[in-house]
Amino acid sequence: MIHWLFHKLGLKSCPACETLVDYALDGLDSPQQGKVRQHLSDCPSCMEQVRDFMQVKEGLGLTAPESDVPTDFNAKVLSRLQKADPVCVRETSSSKSDRHLGGWPRFWMTLGPVFAVLSLTMTLVALGALLSHKNSAAPAQANELAAIGNALMSDPKAAHVQMVSAEAGQTASGSLVLCPGRREAFFKAANLSKCPQGRNYALWMKRGDKAERLARFSAEADGSSVYLLNLGSSWDGAMPAEFMVTQESGSGVGQTWMKGSLKL
Amino acid sequence: MDAPKTMTKPKGEAREAERAIDRELMQRVVKGDQTALEDLMKRWSRPVYSLALRILRNPQLAEEVSQDTFLKVWKHAGVFQEQRGAFSSWVLTMTHHGSIDALRRAKARGSQVTNTLDNVVAATLPSPRGGVSTWQRVKLEEALATLPEKQRQVVELAYFEGHTREEMAEIMGEPVGTVKTRLRDAVQKLAAVFRDPEEALSQAPGFQ
């Protein structure tokens, strides 16, 4: 009531209640959703109303008459998961109700050897491509690291960027060293562990609205390593610049894991 | 004098325990633990499938949407943040999105409801309060049944059939503004279920 009064008196620029209901029930298009979401971040009273409406939405979802789930539902989901991301395959307990080997265990027993040969072949091809790729990087040998790392870090023009985790609760961190005019960068990462989506990451540089991928690399299993990155083009030294380490997969650029910036 | 009300276990405590289980399972899913995903499916596949079937009224499509929902749980586990909302709300919202999308495709209306990552994140903002208890669900069903016919109809059209407000106005033969107002009134009435004093009191710590 008070919220309605404030709105009518023009004391607040809150959206109409109908709009908040539409927001909660997914009745707005993306631009409208964005505007409401922005308003909610500043308006506790509207936020409370939307929370009420979203609780109604969740409750409505639970009023659907209960139906038995189709048989082998869990196994089918896991089978689709493995086809999409075989790197994350792990043993799962088979259902106690299974009387015979079915579902995904039989799938792996019959076609497992075929997939093993195919995977090995594809890994060898990919490794060859990776080693010859200009932007590829690999954990460098100690003596090579020492030489190039020392050169980079002792260069008076070198820029040191502290990278911190982009997400609350994550512990990934790193330090990036790059030098204007040089196409190598030295990157030391900690806790950049293999995530469920894979091990491939990329280093990006962003200035204003423009983002450029500088290099790609694969994370080591222990999550901490030193990388000598071959940049696609040398960094020109212009600042300010933001740097990000993002996770990459077959479906494109994923989550940002680390970020850091260079200011003037 | 009436004896003081006693309860064997505050309802809020039981619900918080359920949330804690979902939270723990999601933390394991983020680390790539498929058995945690299996456990989440054991807990939530039934309400997910039930909602999809209610909307789609087609067991095959409903199963497909339900499977897609759990694959999204796996894929976007890192995006979901428990502090933003209950897992129940997130998974049911994704089910709802997927079901409406499939319904529209099946009806060949040409609508482009996409279920992109942005929508997955938006589904968690803002967080509702601590999920919905069994008691609240029962109360909500009662409240739905007592809504005036036209208010019940707009809720059905908006939530279970995914119609736009313009489509709803056309179906009901009324102006869009009237439809929106009616939906607002219906949702506000249903929201009162979650502000019931008895329920609020039962969630107070140490209530006896």
Give this complex's ipTM.
0.79
Of B128, B136, B193, the CB nearest to A51: B128
The token pair that represents A148 in the structure block = 């190039």
**Is A61 part of the contact surface with chain B (CB cutoff 8 Å)?**
yes
Chain B residues whose beta carbon lies within 8 Å of the beta carbon of residue A18: 180-181, 183-184
In chain B the first and final C-alpha atoms are separated, in Å, by: 16
Q: What is the pLDDT of residue A262?
A: 79
Of B67, B88, B158, the CB nearest to A77: B67
Work out the number of other CB atoms within 10 angstroms of the CB of residue A1.
5
B29-62 exposure pattern, b = at least 16 Cβ within 10 A, e = fewer: bbebbbebbbbbbebbbbbbbbbbbbbbeeeebb
Does A156 score more than 60 pLDDT?
yes
CB-based contact B34 A92, cutoff 8 Å: yes
Query: Which chain B residues are within 8 Å of A55, Cβ to Cβ?
Result: 128-129, 132, 191, 194
Cis peptide before A240 (omega within 30 of 0): yes
Q: What is the pLDDT of residue B117?
A: 38
CA separation, residue A92 to residues A10, A225, A256 (Å): 59, 31, 30
- The per-residue pLDDT for B51 is 94
CB atoms within 10 A of CB A181: 10
Asked whether A186 and A146 are in contact (CB, 8 A), the reply is no
Cα separation values, B58 from A264, B54, B65, B72, Å = 60, 9, 11, 21
Rounded Cα–Cα distance for residues B127 and A88 (Å): 30
What is the number of helices (H) and of strands (E) in chain A? Answer: 7, 9
**Over the stretch A160-198, which tens digit does the pLDDT of each residue have?**
888 888 877 777 888 888 877 777 788 888 777 655 556
In this prediction, residue A251 carries a pLDDT of 57
Q: Which residues of B touch A167 (CB under 8 A)?
A: 78
Residue A128, pLDDT score: 67
3-state secondary structure string across A186-206: EEEEECCCCECCECEEEEEEE
pLDDT > 60? residue B120: no
pLDDT at A205: 86
User: Which pLDDT band holds residue B19 (cuts at 50, 70, 90)?
Assistant: confident
Closest B-chain CA to A70: B63
Strand bridging mode A159-165 / A252-262: antiparallel
Q: Is A30 on the interface with B (CB under 8 A)?
A: yes
Taking the C-alpha atoms of residue B172 and residue B158, their distance in angstroms, rounded to an integer, is 12
User: What token pair was written down for B121?
Assistant: 């994140």
Q: How confident is the model at residue B1 (pLDDT cuts 50, 70, 90)?
A: very low
pLDDT tens per residue across span B156-208: 999 999 888 999 999 999 999 999 999 999 999 999 888 765 555 555 444 43
A229 in Cβ contact with A217 (< 8 Å): yes
The pLDDT, as a whole number, for residue B79 is: 78
In contact, A86 and A198? CB cutoff 8 Å: no
Burial B173-189 (b: 16+ CB within 10 A, else e): eeeeeebbbbbbbbbeb
Tell whether B183 is within 8 A of chain A (Cβ).
Answer: yes
CB atoms A57 and B96 under 8 Å: yes
Q: Is the entire prediction scored with pTM above 0.80?
A: no
Most confident of A4-18, A121-135, A201-215, B56-70: B56-70
A29 and B CB contact within 8 Å: no
Chain A window 189-228: which residues touch B at a Cβ cutoff of 8 Å?
195-197
Residue A150 CA to residue A138 CA, distance in Å, equals 18
- What does DSSP assign to residue A239? S
User: What are the pLDDT digits (tens) for A61-87?
Assistant: 999 988 999 999 999 999 998 886 544
Q: Which of B15, B55, B125 to mutate to test the interface with A (most CBs of A within 10 A)?
A: B125
Q: Which residue in B163, B185, B95, B98 sits closest to A62, CA to CA?
A: B95
